[in-house]
Structures are given as structure tokens and as C-alpha cells.
């Protein structure tokens, strides 16, 4: 009798603890999804900018894999910036954020740059108080969105950037025709595209040296995935001063002369929809990008005089190679298979209505 009773109490106790744990886990999950939802509203919120003129989503549009289709981004004042808006997806696979800044290793923190940056000005968000006022006067009920996500209605930058990062972490792109082919669906790629894949992986073309890993943005030689190994000068320019001073890339952050003209290797996923290409949007077509690599550098690109092939800072991995027209087309055809249609159409990533 005694024993039975003790056992019963113990079971009751354990099940109580378990159900509390389940409740707590459920609660955490709910808070996490509430944070993502808040982040989604904020990503599409023009109230984060001066004069309600720009949301993150203006420069990061879903149909372009969260880039903007422009050569370089346009800010709250209608002025052109110097860089091409990055496409946003699989962000966890980035060793650093933006085109050339190894200091930016924190996704939440990165959002402060478009919000408050003044070189270039992007959203000109103003003071925290101004953001609070704009959100408070919005037709969207931010009070309850913040309560669900964080337990109270307080609006501060830590919460805003945390929620934006939570939403951006949902931008995943691993479901392209290429992925289906890798998973064993042999007819997911045409023979022509398969030939392009083989060229891409070939030593002769050497693309994988830098565009390695499941996100096509890792340096092959770096075992530890060191951020700095992912920056290269790919021979876009060679001016009298070395590189166009409008954008010197990694050098601007490190002040190390060897870093002039080095930029981060971008992912190649979704390049079919994220034109134009390169840090300054200087290439309109993938065929042009492939030609650039085949030649081992570009001449007079973007109207800037000089032969990038001769740039002394150029990576030794950009050597140039012989390529037939058919091979060029095959490689481009392969790059086009890296598009994840779901990313471009998933309503959960679209502007909330």
C-alpha cells in the first residue's frame, strides 16, 4: 500500500513537471514565432525611415530574392548609393555581412547600418523617440505585436533589431532544381544544365575555389571558415590609383593595402533573379560575369578606364580560361537552376496584409 502510494505521488509529480515543461517550451515557441511575425511587420515598415519613405523591403524585395533589381540602392532622399543591395537568404551561412566588412558578424547589429548610417545615408531613422512615434501612429497594432514577442510593449532598438534578425533568419533558399538534382532527382536538371554544373565544378573554371559549400559562398582553402578568406579582388578594375576610390572594399575597414578592391564572395543561389551583379552592380548579365572570369578580369568596366586583369591585388585564382560559346551558355544555364521559387513566392515572407 505504502509503496503504491509513493509511486503514485512520484508519477503525479513527474507528469506535473513534464506538463509545465511542455507549457514552457510551447510558450517559448510561441514567443519565437511572435518575434518572427513582428520582424516581418518591421521589415515592411516604412515608419523605420525618415518621412515614412523606405522600408527594408524597398531595397530587399522578395521577387528579386530580397535584393532590389537596381544597379545600386536608392536612399530616403532619392540618392543613389555606391553599392548593390545584397540579396538576403541563408544568412546564417555568412561569415560576415555586407560586401566588405568583416566586423559585421551579427545579423541583428547589421540592421543599425541601414537604419542610422550616414555614409551612405539609407533610412535616416532618426532618434529612438522618432521611431517610437512613427510606430505608435501606424495603423498596425505594434503594441500587441511587441507584447506577444517580448512580453511587454516597450519599443527599443534591441527589440527591433532582434525581431528583424528573427524574420531574416526565415529567408531560406535550399530548394532549387539544383538541390532536387543533388537529392537524387535526375531529371531535375537538363543535360545542358548538367554540363554547366560540371564546368562549374571543374578545375579549369575554378569557380568552386571561392564559391564552395552548400551556399556557394565559402573559400575552399579555409578549413576554419575564417571570414577574411572570403574576400577577394576579382580583377574588376585597375585604375591609375589601383582601384576606383569610390569603393575600396575591405581596405576601407582594415587599412591594409593588400585589401584594396577585395569584396566578400556572395552566394550564387538565386543569381537568376538578383541581377545586376557585383558589389557595384556593374554587370547586367550572367553571361558578362562568366566572360569576366574567362578573360581573367574586365576591361573598362562601368566606363572606368583600365584592365582589371592586370590589377596586382587580383586573386591568383582568377587566371582566366578558354571557353567555347556553348560552354558559356551551359554555365549560365546551370547558374539559373539555383533559384528557389519558394523563397520568391512564399506568402509568409511577403508583406503582411
Partner 1 sequence: MEWKQAMKRIGIFIGLLLLLGCSEAPEQRLEVPFSLHFQGELIDANNCQVDSQGLDLNATPKPVVNAVTLYVHNVELQNHQGQWVRARLQGATEQAWHDEQIALLDLTPCQAEPVGGQALPLVLPKGQYQGLRFTLGVPEALNHQDPLQAKPPLDLPAFQWHWTVGYKFAFFDLAWRENSVKYHLGSSGCTGNIGETISCQYKNRPQVSLTHFQPGDKVALELRQFFTELPHARCFGKPQDKGCETLFNLIGLQQHEQRLFHVVD
C-alpha–C-alpha distance, residues 231 and 335, integer Å: 21
Q: How far is the CB of 306 from partner 1 (least distance, A)?
A: 17
Between 122 and 193, whose beta carbon lies closer to partner 1? 122
Nearest alpha carbon to residue 43 among 84, 91, 96: 91
Nearest alpha carbon to residue 246 among 124, 120, 114, 123: 120
Please choose which of ligand HEC, partner 1, none residue 11 contacts, taking the beta carbon within 5 to 8 angstroms, the exact cut-off set by kind: none
511542455: which residue's cell? 22
Nearest alpha carbon to residue 154 among 167, 136, 179, 181: 136
Does the footprint of partner 1 cover residue 117 (CB under 8 A)? yes
Are 41 and 352 in contact by the 8 Å Cβ rule? The answer is yes
Q: How far is the CB of 224 from partner 1 (least distance, A)?
A: 14
Does the footprint of partner 1 cover residue 174 (CB under 8 A)? no
Q: Which of residues 48-77 bind ligand HEC (CB under 6 A)?
A: 48, 54, 56, 58-60, 73, 75
Residue 239: strand, helix, or coil: strand
Please choose which of ligand HEC, partner 1, none residue 250 contacts, taking the beta carbon within 5 to 8 angstroms, the exact cut-off set by kind: none
C-alpha–C-alpha distance, residues 229 and 220, integer Å: 9
Q: Say how many C-beta atoms besides its own lie within 10 A of residue 170's C-beta.
A: 15
Between 79 and 341, whose beta carbon lies closer to partner 1? 79
Between 34 and 283, whose beta carbon lies closer to ligand HEC? 283
Instruction: Pick from 41, 251, 293, 334 the residue near partner 1 by CB under 8 A.
Output: 251
Instruction: Pick from 318, 336, 343, 349 the residue near ligand HEC by CB under 6 A.
Output: 318
Does the footprint of partner 1 cover residue 141 (CB under 8 A)? no
CA angle 159, 162, 163 (to 5 degrees): 85
Between 20 and 128, whose beta carbon lies closer to partner 1? 128
Please choose which of ligand HEC, partner 1, none residue 94 contacts, taking the beta carbon within 5 to 8 angstroms, the exact cut-off set by kind: ligand HEC
Does the footprint of ligand HEC cover residue 279 (CB under 6 A)? yes
Does the footprint of ligand HEC cover residue 205 (CB under 6 A)? yes
Are 111 and 48 in contact by the 8 Å Cβ rule? The answer is no
C-alpha–C-alpha distance, residues 278 and 318, integer Å: 15
Task: Find the part of the chain contacting partner 1 (CB under 8 A) among 39-47, 249-257, 289-297, 316-324.
Answer: 249-257
Size of the site for partner 1 (CB under 8 A): 29
Q: Is 170 left (phi over 0), alpha (psi -120 to 50) or beta?
A: alpha
Please choose which of ligand HEC, partner 1, none residue 254 contacts, taking the beta carbon within 5 to 8 angstroms, the exact cut-off set by kind: partner 1
Instruction: Pick from 39, 47, 81, 102 the residue near partner 1 by CB under 8 A.
Output: 102
Torsion sign over Cα 183, 62, 128, 34: negative
Q: Residue 299's beta-bridge partner residues?
A: 307
Nearest alpha carbon to residue 93 among 176, 216, 277: 216
Long-range CB pairs of 327-331 (<8 Å, 24+ gap) are 327/195, 327/199, 328/287, 328/290, 328/291, 328/294, 329/192, 329/196, 329/287, 330/192, 330/193, 330/195, 330/196, 330/199, 331/196, 331/199, 331/200, 331/205, 331/290
Does the footprint of partner 1 cover residue 121 (CB under 8 A)? no
Does the footprint of partner 1 cover residue 270 (CB under 8 A)? no
Does the footprint of ligand HEC cover residue 304 (CB under 6 A)? no
Instruction: Pick from 31, 121, 140, 157 the residue near partner 1 by CB under 8 A.
Output: 157
Applying CB under 6 A, which residues contact ligand HEC?
Answer: 48, 54, 56, 58-60, 73, 75, 81, 83, 85-86, 88, 94, 97-99, 107, 110-111, 114-115, 122-123, 164, 168, 205-207, 209-211, 232, 234, 236, 263, 265-266, 268, 271, 274, 277-279, 286, 289-290, 293, 315, 317-318, 331
Amino acid at each position: 500500500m505504502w509503496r503504491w502510494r509513493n509511486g503514485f505521488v512520484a508519477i503525479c509529480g513527474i507528469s506535473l513537471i513534464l506538463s509545465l515543461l511542455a507549457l514552457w517550451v510551447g510558450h517559448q515557441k510561441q514567443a519565437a514565432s511572435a518575434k518572427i511575425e513582428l520582424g516581418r511587420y518591421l521589415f515592411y515598415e516604412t515608419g523605420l525611415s525618415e518621412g515614412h519613405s523606405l522600408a527594408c523591403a524597398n531595397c530587399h524585395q522578395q521577387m528579386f530574392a530580397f535584393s532590389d533589381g537596381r544597379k545600386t540602392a536608392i536612399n530616403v532622399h532619392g540618392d543613389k548609393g555606391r553599392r548593390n543591395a545584397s540579396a538576403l537568404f541563408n544568412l546564417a551561412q555568412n561569415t560576415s555581412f555586407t560586401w566588405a566588412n568583416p566586423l559585421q558578424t551579427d545579423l541583428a547589429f547589421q540592421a543599425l547600418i541601414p537604419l542610422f548610417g550616414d555614409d551612405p545615408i539609407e533610412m535616416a531613422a532618426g532618434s529612438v523617440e522618432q521611431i517610437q512615434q512613427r510606430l505608435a501612429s501606424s495603423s498596425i497594432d505594434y503594441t500587441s505585436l511587441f507584447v506577444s514577442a517580448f512580453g511587454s510593449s516597450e519599443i527599443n532598438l534591441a527589440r527591433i533589431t532582434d525581431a528583424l534578425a528573427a524574420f531574416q533568419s526565415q529567408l531560406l533558399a535550399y530548394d532549387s532544381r539544383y538541390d532536387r538534382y543533388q537529392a537524387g532527382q535526375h531529371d531535375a536538371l537538363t543535360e545542358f544544365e548538367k554540363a554547366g554544373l560540371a564546368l562549374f565544378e571543374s578545375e579549369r573554371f575554378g569557380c568552386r575555389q571561392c564559391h564552395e559549400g552548400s551556399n556557394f559562398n565559402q573559400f575552399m582553402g579555409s578549413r576554419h571558415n575564417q571570414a577574411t578568406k572570403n574576400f577577394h579582388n576579382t580583377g574588376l578594375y585597375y585604375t591609375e590609383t589601383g582601384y576606383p576610390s569610390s569603393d575600396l572594399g575591405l581596405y576601407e575597414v582594415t587599412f591594409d593595402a593588400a585589401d584594396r578592391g577585395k569584396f566578400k564572395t556572395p552566394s550564387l543561389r538565386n543569381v537568376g533573379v538578383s541581377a545586376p551583379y557585383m558589389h557595384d552592380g556593374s554587370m547586367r548579365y550572367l553571361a558578362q560575369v562568366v566572360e569576366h572570369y574567362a578573360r581573367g578580369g574586365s576591361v573598362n568596366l562601368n566606363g572606368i578606364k583600365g584592365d582589371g586583369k592586370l590589377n596586382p591585388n587580383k586573386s591568383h585564382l582568377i587566371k582566366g580560361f578558354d571557353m567555347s560559346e556553348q560552354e558559356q551558355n551551359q554555365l549560365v544555364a546551370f547558374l539559373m537552376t539555383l533559384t528557389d521559387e519558394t523563397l520568391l513566392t512564399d506568402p509568409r515572407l511577403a508583406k503582411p496584409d
